[in-house]
Structure 1
Amino acid sequence: MTAPSRRQTLIQAMQRLGYALLLPVSILPLAALLHRLGQPDALNLPVLVLSGKAIFGQMPLIYAVAIAFGIGHKARGGLALCGAVNFLLLSSALSVLAPGLHADLVCGMLAGIITALVGPWSPSLPKPIRLYLPGPWQGPLLSALVCLLLAVPLSLIWPMLEQGISQIATDLGTPFGAFSYGVLNRLLLPLGLHQLLGNLMTLGASNQLALAAAQPLHQGYGAGLYPIIMFGLPGACFAIWLHRHRLQQLPHGALLLTLALTSACIGITEPIEFLFAFTAPWLFLAHALLTGLSFAICSALEIQLGSYFSAGLLDLSLSYGSGLHAFWIIPLGILFFVAYALLFYHMLGRSPLSLSNQHLIRQEMANIPPADPQMLAIQYLKLLGGMDNLQAISVCLTRLSIRVRNMALVDQSQLLNLGCLSWIELNEHQLVLVLGPNAGLIEGQIRMLAERQSVPLGLKPNQASSSQVGW
């Protein structure tokens, strides 16, 4: 395998892990909402508090199940169950060998990864070894054995790693460290690797204790995202709106307002950031640097405000009470709204936004997307070349990653008419559609239509074939 092929394989593997981590992360807002609503100053229902804490307390187990399910091959339901069992084995063995460690989250991640990766190796084991393992149980038993054996080196290595991760998290509390983290966090977003960077920081002892106490994660340095997500990106949308007025083009205010409110209220920023990343790299670079600046300012002002999910208004309302100097988020955010609006308006004036490849904003809308999800999925299938042209499909929050047999059959000129916010052609077979909150709904409808027509759809659009060995 050549060096570029190895790099591509590594990136794809890390992307798959990052996508798998989205499921446990997306559960955190529900747990936080239950915990907050049950407090005495809200609904005063202790059962809700206990329910929220129960979810937080089982996050390592949820990590193991989600990762095993997300990056596994066939028999994904069985993989999820094996991931849970292997986590219990690994964490129990580690607690006996090295009591007092804060390693539950890393045990959950390792158990999920081992479960998903060891299974395909079992058929290639030497025949004498396979004779001692019953056929249907080769994968589960082998992965359980690997997890038990891993507990020994992990008990020796993890104390040093935990100390190193905690030290890194402490260093990120300095303005320069926070700036570096903020810039890197945004630059990794187009590759889908920002989730890995964020989850790496949750492995430290402080964040695991925060999870157990139902407190927001990254409380020491996560405040820098709030001014960007709640104010900065809406300011960028305002700048694009002004820019289109200046060019006497249809400003498309409704679409830009929707993107801005989605970012500010819920914290889903991908539709806006993917527009910058794939059509205006200079804007995306400016966005990354401004994000780093926000992190540095919050660190210098000693603003501490964590987030459960994605630093939107929902997170702010849930995390405000446990923060430090959190009231500075609002005036700082207003300054970033003005900074984004002025800087992006000036940059767009010097180098207009190029929309030739994606046609995100057009002067006319030929059709109105169907309101019925099934009809909308059928329309997308027609533009994608029909069911026979699809090989694999997967959803990641606001995006659909699709693998097609023949890209020439895909009618990209009509995607906007169905409500597609943005899209990028990664290679001659893989296409990524940014659909917003409807992405999961459309993916489910397409899969249901495929099942009715007995058409097998794979789950790995970045792989050439969906025929994989599994258990």
Structure 2
Amino acid sequence: MMKYLQKLGRSLMLPVAVLPAAAILMGIGYWIDHDGWGSGNVFAAFLIKAGSSILDSQNMSILFAVGVALGMSKDKDGSAALSGLVAFLVTTTLLSTDSVAMLLSTDIANVNPAFEKIENQFIGILSGIIASIMYNRFSHVQLPDALAFFSGKRLVPIMTAAAMLVASAALFFIWPIVYTALVSFGEGISGLGATGAGLYGFFNRLLIPTGLHHALNSVFWFDVAGINDIGNFWAGTGTKGVTGMYQAGFFPIMMFGLPAAALAMYHTAKTKRKKQAASLMLAAGFAAFFTGVTEPLEFAFMFLAPALYVVHAALTGLSLFIAATFHWTAGFGFSAGFVDLVLSFRLPLANQPYMLIVQGLVFAVIYYFLFRFLIVKFNLKTPGREDDEDVADEDVDGVASTTTGNKFSGMAATIFDGLGGDANVTSVDYCATRLRVEVKDMNAVNQKKIKDTGVPGINVVGPQSIQVIVGTNVQFVADEIEKIRK
């Protein structure tokens, strides 16, 4: 089950990755005409409307349906994505307010309000999952000659539509219950005000290793439970100083706290390993500050020093609590980095966003000295502090292979060899920062050899499942591995 949920989390990264484009378009548009929201400037209106076409709840749900169907299908074929769209359209049409009123022979006013929110990310994800199941089951089915045209991949959308008829019938009864529960959960947390924001921030970070933080995020960031913090913040439909409270507190952590933690880990690294630690910490720290992509840095120490990661999660919760308490708000389209902070600075609902910078500077000091104290006090094995027997000897040939020609080809070759090569590797996939690999025998994996390439970390998630944390360049490493496997 955990493996399946992790694959779902990875698949969700595809539609979520679309958000930066919307953020850039809308951010520039609002920067040009933040008071008129495009009414005073044609170019601003053009950009704002283009961006809102992506962030609109219904359209985002379609992206989820397509992205999940594609990501969960066994060979990432386009017919799976088409089936995800079919699944979403069938369900949302059958369970729209008008259709339900017709099925019940009643007035629209008497229809459960839950059906007004049927075009949401939850239904999009469910549609994508069912479509992927239909693809994996029927994409190679051969029908009799008379129906041969509909065999194989052409059969998948048809079977998906049929499956969604059954799913829609079940959702007719289940969705109002699920919706009410989600709303109650969201209202329960939001009802706690700043404390709720802090609890959300804490559990958001704790779930990062499993990839299940996307499920938690969807409740607060999107329109699953009516909170829709991201959509409302960028659309300006909310309360100033309140809308954005589930986003603002991340900026001090990602832009300042984690880079300061990286500096602390560099300063506490062993002298002979400082150069290697500096390379990793500099790249990961800059990614966290500029783009808000924190996984390369977090995975660098979460398994080496899990207690330190819990401290990081607690500090994240504290940051969200403080920002929400003082009503300092800013928003992001993808993650809480420098780019999104600048783009959201002049949005109508941004409230004293400059105070998040002040807060961030304070958190940078806290992160640096607290991390440095804990690392030294408890001799935590952060990057550069591993025991000597775990440290790879300098391999001149290995270094040369990754620094000449295509630097990713040498790195990919070493990683693939460390995984056991063709004899041991059964599948290779990747998400935003991680290679996700299935192997026959985990004992055949040489983790030391893989770490010699300088990757931030390795995560064994099952008897045959291993993740190699590469960073934002993971796609290029994965591409090189696929070339080797062909």
Q: TM tier, shorter chain?
A: 0.7 to 0.9
Verify: 1:21 aligned to 2:36, yes or no: no
SS of residue in 2 equivalent to 1:250? helix
RMSD over aligned CA atoms reads: 3.4
Out of 171, 176, 182, the residue aligned to residue 201 of structure 2 is 182
Contact 1:221 1:305 (8 Å CA) reproduced: no
Alpha-carbon separation, structure 2, partners of 1:157 and 1:411: 48
Change (3 A) 1:363 1:33: farther
Report what 2:295 is aligned to. Answer: 270
Query: How much does 1:396 deviate?
Result: 1.3
Alpha-carbon separation, structure 2, partners of 1:91 and 1:331: 45
Query: How much does 1:315 deviate?
Result: 1.8
Verify: 1:280 aligned to 2:305, yes or no: yes
Alpha-carbon separation, structure 2, partners of 1:326 and 1:68: 38
Contact 1:358 1:423 (8 Å CA) reproduced: no
Q: Which amino acid is 1:112 matched to?
A: G
Change (3 A) 1:358 1:260: farther
Q: Identity, % of aligned pairs? A: 29
Change (3 A) 1:90 1:412: same
Verify: 1:97 aligned to 2:124, yes or no: no
Change (3 A) 1:357 1:442: farther
Change (3 A) 1:145 1:359: farther
Out of 187, 201, 204, the residue aligned to residue 225 of structure 2 is 204
Contact 2:219 2:227 (8 Å CA) reproduced: no
Report what 2:28 is aligned to. Answer: 37
Report what 1:3 is aligned to. Answer: none
Report what 2:67 is aligned to. Answer: 66
Query: How much does 1:157 deviate?
Result: 4.6
Query: How much does 1:39 deviate?
Result: 4.8
Change (3 A) 1:183 1:386: same
Matches within 5 A, 1:161-172: 161-172=178-189
Matched residue pairs, number?
435
Query: How much does 1:347 deviate?
Result: 0.7
Change (3 A) 1:283 1:90: same
Verify: 1:441 aligned to 2:470, yes or no: no
For residues 85-121 of structure 1, the C-alpha deviation after alignment (integer angstroms, 9 at most, x for no partner) is 1211211222233577122123322211221234556
User: Which of 434-443 and 405-414 deviates more?
Assistant: 405-414
Change (3 A) 1:337 1:25: same
Report what 1:49 is aligned to. Answer: 48
For residues 370-407 of structure 1, the C-alpha deviation after alignment (integer angstroms, 9 at most, x for no partner) is 35134443343333333343211110111111123344
Change (3 A) 1:48 1:116: same
Which segments of 5 or more consecutive residues in structure 2 lack a partner in the other structure? Answer: 34-40, 101-107, 109-114
TM-score for the superposition, normalised by structure 1 = 0.81
Report what 1:468 is aligned to. Answer: none
TM-score for the superposition, normalised by structure 2 = 0.79
Query: How much does 1:168 deviate?
Result: 3.3
Change (3 A) 1:285 1:314: same
Contact 1:380 1:418 (8 Å CA) reproduced: yes
Contact 1:172 1:221 (8 Å CA) reproduced: no
Report what 2:357 is aligned to. Answer: 330
Change (3 A) 1:216 1:335: farther
User: Which of 426-435 and 264-273 deviates more?
Assistant: 426-435
Q: Which amino acid is 1:71 matched to?
A: M
User: Which of 371-380 and 331-340 deviates more?
Assistant: 371-380
Change (3 A) 1:39 1:427: closer
Change (3 A) 1:350 1:205: same
Query: How much does 1:38 deviate?
Result: 4.1
Out of 148, 151, 155, the residue aligned to residue 168 of structure 2 is 151
Query: How much does 1:413 deviate?
Result: 2.8
SS of residue in 2 equivalent to 1:73? coil
Alpha-carbon separation, structure 2, partners of 1:356 and 1:38: 49
Report what 1:117 is aligned to. Answer: 133
Change (3 A) 1:40 1:200: closer
Report what 1:350 is aligned to. Answer: 377
Contact 1:97 1:155 (8 Å CA) reproduced: no
Report what 2:112 is aligned to. Answer: none
Matches within 5 A, 1:198-277: 198-201=217-220, 202=222, 203-207=224-228, 210=231, 219-244=244-269, 250=274, 252-277=277-302
Contact 1:359 1:413 (8 Å CA) reproduced: no
Change (3 A) 1:110 1:413: closer
Report what 1:460 is aligned to. Answer: none
For residues 186-230 of structure 1, the C-alpha deviation after alignment (integer angstroms, 9 at most, x for no partner) is 111111111111123321334299279656997232212111111
For residues 285-336 of structure 1, the C-alpha deviation after alignment (integer angstroms, 9 at most, x for no partner) is 1111111111211221123333221211122122232422322211111111
Alpha-carbon separation, structure 1, partners of 2:459 and 2:201: 25
Q: Which amino acid is 2:99 matched to?
A: L
Q: Which amino acid is 1:142 matched to?
A: M
Alpha-carbon separation, structure 1, partners of 2:321 and 2:78: 43
